[in-house]
Amino acid sequence: MVRESRLPRQAGRAAAASLRSSPHVLRRIRAGLRTLGPVRAGLLALLLAALVAAAVYRSWLDAQGRTAEVLAVTLRVPLLGWGVRTLTEAPRSEDGTVAGVPTTVYRPGSGAAWPAVVFLNGVTARGRHHPDVVRLARGLARAGFLVLVPDPPGLAEGEVTERTLDATFGVVRAAAGRPDARGGRVGIVGVSVGASLGLLAAEQPGLATRVTAVAGIAPYSDLENVVRLATTGSVLEHGRLVPYRAESFLPLVIGRSLIAALPPSGDRTRLLGELTALHEGSPDPLGLFRRLDLARLEPSVRPLAALLANRDAARFAALYAALSPALRASIAHLSPLRGAARLRAPVEIASAPHDKYFPVSETRALARAATHARVRLTVTPTLHHAVPSLSVSDLAGLLRFDGWAVRALRDLRRS
């Protein structure tokens, strides 16, 4: 069952549950209080309450401080950012490869081992060198994390395939096994498609128990449903078609990714080249498929071209069923929803009320399917897909985003 958060209350409940599970402790406390006068007993009770509160909220306050450090650097908050850079050690960064994937590693200024995090960005041509990605990675390193930022193949070009996924698995596995990764475990932070790749890694047998937590912003969970959205402008929610408006970059990435997943052929090469040549802001990137003579295409390409040319939601299911079994299996492998029952790590997801690519219902479906992990969804207008906009004019939204970030960092530090 999905848990949509406001502000945390679970810490106090956990403390109360811990005391209730230790009756001998309670008996000793009561016996001690009876031997004191009423004033001393009251003072002792207040002291005990203060100690319990300090123990319960210490990790929360620590995470809140680290959240302030990360956001101040990432969002370039005036004065606060300068204070963080002045009071914390500058991280060390190094470009190289991890598991054969080009990766930048950010280390805190001092120490030999830290909680490890793999950060997975969304589709962006600049990849791990995008200024927002660099600032976030440096902010996490200033907050005490070992941060690995890979460029899995295809992600920068908007061609998200099983090759992209396998490379992501390799980096996460290698990160958990590093001698400078505390506890032999790793957390995952992802944005957009990167968050979906992170969820898939956390579901992977052999990795599920080595992932501390997953923190994501606006992921998708069911790639088939996203293909439906990209082609027809509708999504399936609880068995019912619902119109949803998404920006045109989504159909472009879906077209590139699915064509790239086809077996090699002349038509595949030509169509992928045409899609690659289209600008990110192209208003109708799948229009090229509607201009094709489908009968002239190679048989391996024809069913997918027909699907990408279609705009009728009522025809989608039949056209999807006509795809090759291999392509449908690949789409399933790239869908976190299919393996949600294998999740073991806590998951914190934040999303805008109407994300410009992936509807909030994607996370709600994932939460219902995650029978062995806590999946918490935070909906806040502070987000515009991947980028937060911190404004005091929307204090409630700001507090919700802050709560998501604090919980995420607290979970990521556990080893």
> What is residue 398's predicted lDDT score, i.e. its pLDDT?
79
300 in any annotated domain? yes
Q: What is the mean pLDDT of residues 113-132?
A: 95
Q: How confident is the model at residue 63 (pLDDT cuts 50, 70, 90)?
A: low
325 shares a domain with 195: no
Q: What is the mean pLDDT of residues 390-403?
A: 77
Highest mean pLDDT among 4-18, 62-76, 265-279, 385-399: 265-279
384 shares a domain with 276: no
> What is residue 357's predicted lDDT score, i.e. its pLDDT?
96
Percentage with pLDDT > 70 across the chain: 78
146 in any annotated domain? yes
Residues whose CB is less than 8 angstroms from the CB of residue 125 and which lie 6 or more positions away in sequence, other chains included: 156, 157
66 in any annotated domain? no
**How many domains, the chain?**
2
Mean pLDDT of the chain: 85
- What's the whole-model pTM score? 0.83
> What is residue 326's predicted lDDT score, i.e. its pLDDT?
98
Residue where a domain terminates, one of 314, 332, 350: 332
Residue where a domain terminates, one of 272, 302, 332: 332
235 shares a domain with 129: no
209 shares a domain with 121: yes
193 shares a domain with 129: yes
Residue where a domain terminates, one of 332, 359, 379: 332
258 in any annotated domain? yes
91 shares a domain with 140: yes
Is residue 355 over pLDDT 80? yes
Using alpha carbons only, what angle is made at residue 17 by residues 13 and 18, rounded to the nearest 5 degrees?
Answer: 115
212 shares a domain with 340: yes
> What is residue 388's predicted lDDT score, i.e. its pLDDT?
77
325 shares a domain with 363: no
> What is residue 60's predicted lDDT score, i.e. its pLDDT?
56
CATH code of residue 382: 3.40.50.1820
Q: What is the mean pLDDT of residues 268-291?
A: 96
pLDDT digits over 292-330, tens only? 999 999 999 999 999 999 999 999 999 999 999 999 999
321 in any annotated domain? yes
Q: How confident is the model at residue 414 (pLDDT cuts 50, 70, 90)?
A: confident
401 in any annotated domain? yes
Percentage with pLDDT > 90 across the chain: 67
Q: Residue 104 belongs to what domain range? A: 80-222+335-412
Residue, of 368 and 415, whose pLDDT is higher: 368
349 shares a domain with 215: yes
pLDDT digits over 202-228, tens only? 999 999 999 999 999 999 999 999 999
pLDDT digits over 178-197, tens only? 999 999 999 999 999 999 99
Residue 7 exposed, middle or buried by CB count within 10 Å (0-12, 13-18, 19+): exposed
59 in any annotated domain? no
Q: How confident is the model at residue 91 (pLDDT cuts 50, 70, 90)?
A: confident
* Contact of 262 with 304, CB cutoff 8 Å: yes
390 shares a domain with 310: no
55 in any annotated domain? no
314 shares a domain with 352: no
176 shares a domain with 102: yes
> What is residue 1's predicted lDDT score, i.e. its pLDDT?
46
